[in-house]
Structure 1
Amino acid sequence: MTTTPYVMYNFPGCPFSERVEILLDLKGLRHLYADHPLDLSQPRPQWLLDKTGGSAQLPALDTPQGVLRESEVIMRYLDATHGEVPIARADPYEHAIECLFAALSGALSVAGYTLLKSQDPARRDELVAALDQRFAALDAYLLRNAAGADFLFDRFGWAEAMMVPTLKRLWCAEYYEGYAIPQSFARLHRWRDAALAHPAAQLHSREEIVKLYFDYSRNAGSGALVAGRTVSSFALEPHWSTRPWPPHDKRAIASDSDLGLLP
């Protein structure tokens, strides 16, 4: 195994980057990994575009053989090249089951972000119902396929690494929209509680994600600026830990100063 550090270029709070970070922790590869966060609100630097062949998409992993992109591609590379025991299930059918579960994260993310970014209070009930449906699909899938007491299988694995970052971003729907997963989805709650409590899921906190995603809740994604503001909530500085919690009411007027975004 090479001792040359891998460098991952990413945005702060990026769920796709966190997927890779979780897998690195599960495989004990943190000592080979160096994090290089980039400011989402700024253009990609030319040196990075040179590395990625002109692609602005992140995360990107700089390996001894070259640069890889796409979180799932990076995860499969690391899983195949490091450690005796893979995180993905060795049995082909079991791996298909965990991949199908992970694939549900796409629709879940769309429903959650649509609720989070909506500026129309009249649509809230409709959007909450749509997100409820996506969580209902997760609950039903676990009831049909989960072989483990808590996780999908006997341990926190590929499915959890792929899904947990999406679940964590939906903390923002809880904070800014008062959303709560229906208690009737008991199997989902058991899985979610176990997955979020796992040591590999602790790198990015609820506080960090909620603070970074404030502008997203105002429908200003990808580092775009909210009207009347000069600094994105996704900015690297000032560090999120020095900022106050944003208002729960995402429609409230909040200045750069109110959000702790000024030096």
Structure 2
Amino acid sequence: MMEKPTVYHIPVCPFSQRLEILLELKGQRDAVSFQVVDITRPRDPELLEKTRGTTALPVLETPEGRIIKESLVILNYLDEALPGPLLRRSDPLEHAVENMLVGKEGSFTTAGYLLVMNQVQKQRGKMTDKLIALYAELDDFLRFHNPHGVFLFEDFGLAETVFTPIFMRFWFLEYYEAFELPRRAEFDRVSVWREACLNHPAAQQVGREEIVKLYYDYALGAGNGALPEGRSRSSFAFEPHWRERPWPPKEKYGKPASDEALGLV
């Protein structure tokens, strides 16, 4: 049997979910071996040696031991290397258009994560306005290139695979920041796109409860397995399983919940 590439990843990581969506769309769910990395513990020296000291995940290791980093690079590699229809558009102009939309993902993701991690209440308004403005940019792009459609093109494709995991992670903004898009016409097109992305059958690897519970520490300003002050267990801990824990408190600017209140001990 031919050896599979290995992807080292963090549970519930949006950048790893992109790869899972790709595999689902291509009918190649078993073509890659996923190896979970516990971010609440120091990195395995063997993994650090493979990655030449970098800690960002996911990372793909080919059967020959070659290392590929950055989720979009891995996504494109798997799209080209695995059997099945290409996720990206085959027409060069259409591929350029989808890449222009993909290029907007970085600032969009950053704005959402900065908002959930913000600890200064009076900065909420400014940060919320920034994210809403970026949603408006997405709406404008979609209206220009496919005003009456659902996705960027006729089907769920590369841009949707890139953005859908971020839309899902932003459930933490709905929960911890009471964030919602304004109900105005200028957000109608991006709202249709977002809803179709969230409901696509190939993108159901995670759910709202899992994201809200695991990302509680992000809402306290502690990302990537870091411990908030006064805590001894990360909300990203594997045990107890997230399903066995209570929902965290929605109020992120008040007194933070203890390990006990979060069901972590």
After TM superposition, the score normalised by the length of structure 2 is 0.94
Q: CA deviation at 1:232?
A: 0.8
Give 1:260's match in structure 2, choosing from 256, 259, 263. Answer: 263
Q: CA deviation at 1:52?
A: 2.4
SS in 2 for 1:231: coil
The whole-number CA distance in structure 2 between the counterparts of 1:207 and 1:85 is 33
**Contact 2:5/2:32, CA 8 A, preserved across alignment:** yes
2:221 equivalent to 1:222: no
SS in 2 for 1:8: strand
Q: CA deviation at 1:188?
A: 0.7
Cα distance per residue 1:95-148 (max 9 Å; x no partner): 111111112111111211121111122122222111110111111111011277
Partner of 1:68: 68
Partner of 1:232: 234
> Which blocks of at least 5 consecutive residues in structure 1 are unaligned?
none
Counterpart code for 2:259: D
Q: CA deviation at 1:43?
A: 1.2
The whole-number CA distance in structure 2 between the counterparts of 1:174 and 1:82 is 36
Counterpart code for 1:258: A
After TM superposition, the score normalised by the length of structure 1 is 0.94
Q: How does 1:36-75 map to 2 (within 5 A)?
A: 36-65=35-64, 66-75=66-75
Cα distance per residue 1:67-118 (max 9 Å; x no partner): 3221111111111111242000001111111111112111111211121111
**Contact 2:10/2:57, CA 8 A, preserved across alignment:** yes
Of stretches 152-161 and 250-259 in structure 1, the one that deviates more from structure 2 is 250-259
**Contact 2:10/2:39, CA 8 A, preserved across alignment:** yes
**Contact 1:79/1:86, CA 8 A, preserved across alignment:** yes
Give structure 1 regions of 4+ aligned residues with deviation exceeding 3 angstroms: none
**Contact 2:16/2:58, CA 8 A, preserved across alignment:** yes
Counterpart code for 2:119: Q
Partner of 2:180: 180
SS in 1 for 2:182: coil
Q: CA deviation at 1:35?
A: 2.0
CA gap 1:203/1:55 in 2 versus in 1, 3 angstroms: same
- The size of the alignment, in residue pairs, is 261
Of stretches 168-177 and 138-147 in structure 1, the one that deviates more from structure 2 is 138-147
Partner of 1:11: 10
SS in 1 for 2:137: helix
Q: How does 1:1-263 map to 2 (within 5 A)?
A: 3-65=2-64, 66-146=66-146, 149-184=149-184, 185-251=187-253, 252-262=255-265
Counterpart code for 2:86: P
SS in 2 for 1:114: helix
